[in-house]
Chains A and B, each alone.
Chain A
């Protein structure tokens, strides 16, 4: 976490333990802090404070948007759910659940770089489409989706559909407000930009009706019942503000690091190639395929050398699952299992890149020589 975010949340774990729903003085301090956090988030995401719903994270926000949006429209006869095939599991699993409840679910494909196929999107949209969910930035390969174009297609063919975007991965790299102006629902998650885990936001625009997933005391406009995590909300807002303020310089700085990493790998590791779309890719993403090297073996070797990389997406057992994103982009299973994700962020330094460029070629050479024996 960003130290400023940690500092911001601490008073609400110690000095101001009040419940923002209460009516006394202690509660009022919490309530004030919560509403200030809401205003801060709204200002950065380009919405009104009343449109900010705090949730227990990005997955919860996605579930609320997709399921809540679909269920609110059932009585009007709209039953179509449209997502891209490379969405986060929080969207895909929610859509699949709706499928078991009688909704028509369509997953729109992507090109080799991971950009949504807009013609295919057109083809699955109709008057009965209830929810369309397309992420802003893909969590594995960092591809930026053409959201304004997506919105235009949806408004033309499915004018009553709710538009949701999972913008969880976008916050450090893009001015989310600019990209999501046409979207009814927008999800973000605190820990993706230096805030705490377990707190997120769903923007629900005024006039947009969704059904709550969690019901109870009517908090968060009745859309997310339960005592609000004040400390988490305050820390999320602080982290979001700092990320927003520093974004332009950070993106420039990280781009230099990322390009150095990509160039270095291309020069020192034979036959590597890079996944994603170089024209539409966020600065912090480097996703590299190293044919002939199993990513699990590479990750262990790198971990022991102090380089922390990832592959695929993690399931609850901690095993790395073959990536549905890389498969959708047309990578062979072998290439997908030979791909690793080297993420850069606000904490990444020049020396991190130097270490990676030192260790990765060495590890690859060792693993490849063993295979050849």
Chain B
């Protein structure tokens, strides 16, 4: 059945091919590029060159293309929570918040209002269906590129209106399609950085927004080993850039924003037997004590754990998950849902 689909086109190869494949499948396709950020940054989907790539691909495909200016909403829903999280000693996932509030929030709402049946993106993940027809999110076919983690929050009502045409393909296949269609984005390299921060300038970005609030660096036993210029520079699990020479490999094991204290320790001090979640969301809540596959980073190797109501009990001790990070739970390749590590 032909659908009217609004494709979020970032100017990258994945969303270019997503639009092309939907068109080939006979759908009525319109492209849109979101302008999310007006500040200085050299990457992400807001540069004029990327918008131009999206526009040129749309023109080549013969589909209409528009730009939506969501900078106000992006600042409010993504950038401010991002800096707030660092100020609170947490480690945010801005791409997750952007997906939650912008692409699958604001854009989806607007698409529905305009009469589109669905929106599509170039994410490497798949929308599958259970035996009763209800949609679920599944890992993308290309394990190395799987992005289901950053879509962990999509509920069934949203999934019913989301199309992910490249999720069934490997990245190599995506590029082959792009070459076959002679899309100008076929060989474009992918961006992996936070789109609103200039590469390598995260510290100065955070400092410009949060200022400097120096505090102590201490060992597990409380001994002071130095000073830092602000808790926003630290993430639990971090090893580099501690600013002190301790003569041995040390890791950040805790960040306490209230007392501005950053605690460092050995790798063993980082290990935890469980991960407690807040704001958990599930399309399918795992059963009590169900064994699940647990992913705690966008491209991290999953580990095995058991679901206990508000926490995952790890099969073997795992490095502490930085508070604020998404913890996604899977049953095989099916994403069950997840929450935020506390």
User: Do the two shown chains form a genuine complex with each other?
Assistant: yes
Q: Which A residues contact B (CB, under 8 angstroms)?
A: 294, 296-297, 299-301, 303-304, 316-322, 366-367, 370-371
Most-contacted residue by chain B among A301, A303, A319, A366 (CB, 10 A): A319
0 or 1 for each of B108-141: is its CB under 8 Å from A? (1 = yes): 0110111100000000000000000000000000
Which of A297, A300, A318, A367 is B51 in contact with, Cβ under 8 Å?
A318
Binds A, one of B63-71, B186-194, B275-283: B63-71
A294 touches B69 (CB 8 A): no
Q: Given contacts A317-B35, A317-B48, are A367 and B113 in contact (CB under 8 A)?
A: yes
A316 touches B68 (CB 8 A): no
Which of A296, A297, A318 is B55 in contact with, Cβ under 8 Å?
A318
Quick one: closest B residue to A294, CB to CB? B110
Q: Given contacts A316-B48, A317-B51, are A297 and B67 in contact (CB under 8 A)?
A: no
Quick one: closest A residue to B49, CB to CB? A317
Question: What are some 14 contacts across the A-B interface (CB < 8 A)?
Answer: A294-B110, A296-B68, A296-B69, A297-B113, A301-B115, A316-B48, A317-B35, A317-B46, A318-B66, A319-B67, A319-B69, A321-B69, A366-B113, A367-B113
B37 to chain A, nearest CB (A): 11
- Asked if B10 lies at the interface with its beta carbon under 8 angstroms from chain A, I say no
A52–B48 Cα gap in the complex (Å)? 35
Most-contacted residue by chain A among B30, B55, B69 (CB, 10 A): B69
A297 touches B114 (CB 8 A): yes
0 or 1 for each of B66-92: is its CB under 8 Å from A? (1 = yes): 111100000000000000000000000
Using A300-B32, A301-B114, A317-B67 as known contacts, list a sample of 16 further A-B pairs with CB atoms less than 8 Å apart, ordered by residue number in A. Answer: A299-B66, A300-B30, A300-B66, A304-B30, A304-B64, A317-B51, A318-B33, A318-B51, A319-B35, A319-B51, A320-B67, A320-B69, A322-B69, A366-B114, A366-B115, A371-B113
Give chain A residues whose Cβ lies under 8 Å from the Cβ of B47.
317
Interface residues of B in 20-42 (CB under 8 A from A): 30, 32-33, 35
A320–B55 Cα gap in the complex (Å)? 15
The 8 closest A-B pairs by CB, nearest first: A370-B113, A319-B35, A319-B69, A319-B67, A318-B67, A317-B51, A317-B48, A316-B48
A304–B114 Cα gap in the complex (Å)? 11
Quick one: closest A residue to B50, CB to CB? A317
B114 touches A300 (CB 8 A): yes
A260–B261 Cα gap in the complex (Å)? 69
A38–B158 Cα gap in the complex (Å)? 62
A364–B48 Cα gap in the complex (Å)? 30
Which of A297, A318, A366 is B110 in contact with, Cβ under 8 Å?
A297
A317–B47 Cα gap in the complex (Å)? 7
A83–B246 Cα gap in the complex (Å)? 60
Q: Which B residues contact A (CB, under 8 angstroms)?
A: 30, 32-33, 35, 46-48, 51, 55, 64, 66-69, 109-110, 112-115
A370 touches B68 (CB 8 A): no
Give chain B residues whose Cβ lies under 8 Å from the Cβ of A303.
64, 66
Give chain A residues whose Cβ lies under 8 Å from the Cβ of B68.
296, 319
A302 to chain B, nearest CB (A): 11
Quick one: closest A residue to B47, CB to CB? A317
A322–B72 Cα gap in the complex (Å)? 10
B255 to chain A, nearest CB (A): 37
A317–B113 Cα gap in the complex (Å)? 24
B72 to chain A, nearest CB (A): 8
Give chain A residues whose Cβ lies under 8 Å from the Cβ of B64.
300, 303-304
A298 to chain B, nearest CB (A): 9
A93 to chain B, nearest CB (A): 16
Quick one: closest A residue to B115, CB to CB? A366
B47 to chain A, nearest CB (A): 8
B112 touches A370 (CB 8 A): yes
A318–B47 Cα gap in the complex (Å)? 11
Give chain B residues whose Cβ lies under 8 Å from the Cβ of A370.
109, 112-114
Quick one: closest A residue to B110, CB to CB? A297
A367 touches B69 (CB 8 A): no
A304–B29 Cα gap in the complex (Å)? 12
A318–B35 Cα gap in the complex (Å)? 9
Give chain B residues whose Cβ lies under 8 Å from the Cβ of A296.
66, 68-69, 110
Give chain A residues whose Cβ lies under 8 Å from the Cβ of B51.
317-319
A318–B34 Cα gap in the complex (Å)? 10
A319–B67 Cα gap in the complex (Å)? 5
B178 to chain A, nearest CB (A): 23
A153–B26 Cα gap in the complex (Å)? 64
A321–B114 Cα gap in the complex (Å)? 21
A103–B249 Cα gap in the complex (Å)? 56
A367 touches B114 (CB 8 A): yes
A297–B109 Cα gap in the complex (Å)? 11
A308 to chain B, nearest CB (A): 12
B70 to chain A, nearest CB (A): 9
A294–B68 Cα gap in the complex (Å)? 11
Quick one: closest B residue to A299, CB to CB? B66
Quick one: closest B residue to A295, CB to CB? B69
A363–B110 Cα gap in the complex (Å)? 13
Quick one: closest B residue to A368, CB to CB? B113
Give chain A residues whose Cβ lies under 8 Å from the Cβ of B113.
297, 366-367, 370-371
Give chain A residues whose Cβ lies under 8 Å from the Cβ of B69.
296, 319-322
Give chain A residues whose Cβ lies under 8 Å from the Cβ of B110.
294, 296-297
Most-contacted residue by chain B among A303, A317, A370 (CB, 10 A): A317
A195 to chain B, nearest CB (A): 26
Give chain B residues whose Cβ lies under 8 Å from the Cβ of A366.
113-115
A9–B194 Cα gap in the complex (Å)? 49
Give chain A residues whose Cβ lies under 8 Å from the Cβ of B35.
317, 319
Give chain A residues whose Cβ lies under 8 Å from the Cβ of B112.
370
A301–B67 Cα gap in the complex (Å)? 13
A136–B64 Cα gap in the complex (Å)? 35
Give chain A residues whose Cβ lies under 8 Å from the Cβ of B66.
296, 299-300, 303, 318
A319–B36 Cα gap in the complex (Å)? 10
A316–B47 Cα gap in the complex (Å)? 10
A62 to chain B, nearest CB (A): 22
Give chain A residues whose Cβ lies under 8 Å from the Cβ of B109.
370
B34 to chain A, nearest CB (A): 9
Give chain B residues whose Cβ lies under 8 Å from the Cβ of A320.
67, 69
A368 to chain B, nearest CB (A): 9
A291 to chain B, nearest CB (A): 15
A371–B113 Cα gap in the complex (Å)? 7
Give chain A residues whose Cβ lies under 8 Å from the Cβ of B67.
317-320
Quick one: closest A residue to B68, CB to CB? A296
Give chain A residues whose Cβ lies under 8 Å from the Cβ of B114.
297, 300-301, 366-367, 370
A367–B47 Cα gap in the complex (Å)? 29
